[in-house]
Amino acid sequence: MRELPLFLLLVGINLLILIGQIQGLSIGYHEAKILYGEFSPLQQIITLSLHLFGQNDYALRAPMIVLHLFSVFLLYAISKFYVSGKNDRIWIVLIYMLLPGVTSAALIVDNAGLMIALVFLFAYGYLRFGRYALALFPLYIGIDPAFAYLFFATAIYGLYRKEWWYGFVGGASFIVSLYVYGIHVGGLPESRFLDAFGIYAAIFSPIVFLYLFYVLYRRMIAKQWDLIWMIAMSAFVISILLSFRQKVEVQTFAPYLMLALPMAGETFLHTYRIRLREFRGKYRLLFYSAFILLIINASVVFFNQWFYRFLKDPTRHFSYSMHIVKELAGALKENHIYCVDANDKKLQLRLRFYGVTQCKMYHLTKKRNPKALKVTISYKNTPIFNAYVTKINK
């Protein structure tokens, strides 16, 4: 099968899978804070989608899926500059789609999805048009303070290669970003180094993360310091250095490390193909192990609701914070209850999205009350949440 039709088929399957996952998710507290909190570009994008398509989960998550697909097309285009073999780019895109962190960013309302798409956009612009891609920097300054790491890496690259346009624009953008947003560094050493590595491994899966680290290190030793490498390596090193002193929001740095995927694909395929067939066994084992682990990770995410059957405490489920509220709001509305006092600001804000506002007429609590209306939420015939609603007579 030709590469482009195969790529489009892969994108179509990915799109259908993501759409199928929306029904099983409720809005999370972090997502509700983005939607109802302070102004941000992502908030405006989500608000526009809700205005156009209605207040529902599909409209809430549609922008994230669009951003994800945009990043997939950009990665496919970026990979052309690193690999040229038949269907090589397909494998890089498939690995990207299966990364646990990418699956989450494609569905959950968070700046990570927007960051990935815009970092990939700059990388493609640089590879395709050179320094003209720097025209994106003024836009990026107003979008997210995390782009400061992109500006810093570009400035360092410009100084190292004596490419003064990159040094000047990157340095100026970095200074402006710090002036606008400031910078925070923890006061006391907290030694979060292992935590940061663990989160990276969870985002990329352990084998893929270790191989990305190996590729970055190998290119450093070989002094193959192009701008893409500089961006990925700088962000990774900064995150590790900060982790010695404070808790690091790894999801802020992970989009930059994803730029190393085409480099990793190039290194692996080159190393594999220059060897005789009988000496390729360990590379096939590495690839199959990584791929199988990614399939398992993706399956766990897509079929996560089944795991409630094996948990004594449902709150220990990794997706618990993204469940329950939609069904709870639906059950309340069936009983003609459209406002409650949940005595829980996180739950209250999440219920707001589904049309259940705050009032003093009804009190909702998890504490057992035989005289109250009991609402039970179950997934796959497994009860995971009980709430009791009492009407307050004044």
Bridge partner list, 364:
389
Q: Is the pLDDT of residue 186 over 70?
A: no
- The domains of the chain are located at 3-302, 316-391
Give the dihedral sign, CA 295/205/228/140.
positive
Average pLDDT score over residue span 363-392: 90
The top-scoring range by mean pLDDT among 168-172, 245-249, 307-311 is 168-172
The proportion of the chain whose per-residue pLDDT surpasses 70, expressed as a percent, equals 97
Tokens for 322?
A: 């993204």
Among 114-118, 189-193, 223-227, 302-306, which is the least confidently predicted range?
Answer: 189-193
- At 188 the pLDDT is 58
List the Cα angle 325/320/371 in 5-degree steps.
50
Q: Where are the alpha helices (DSSP H) in 162-280?
A: 164-181, 193-204, 206-221, 227-243, 250-257, 260-273
CA atoms of 102 and 311, how far apart (whole Å):
26
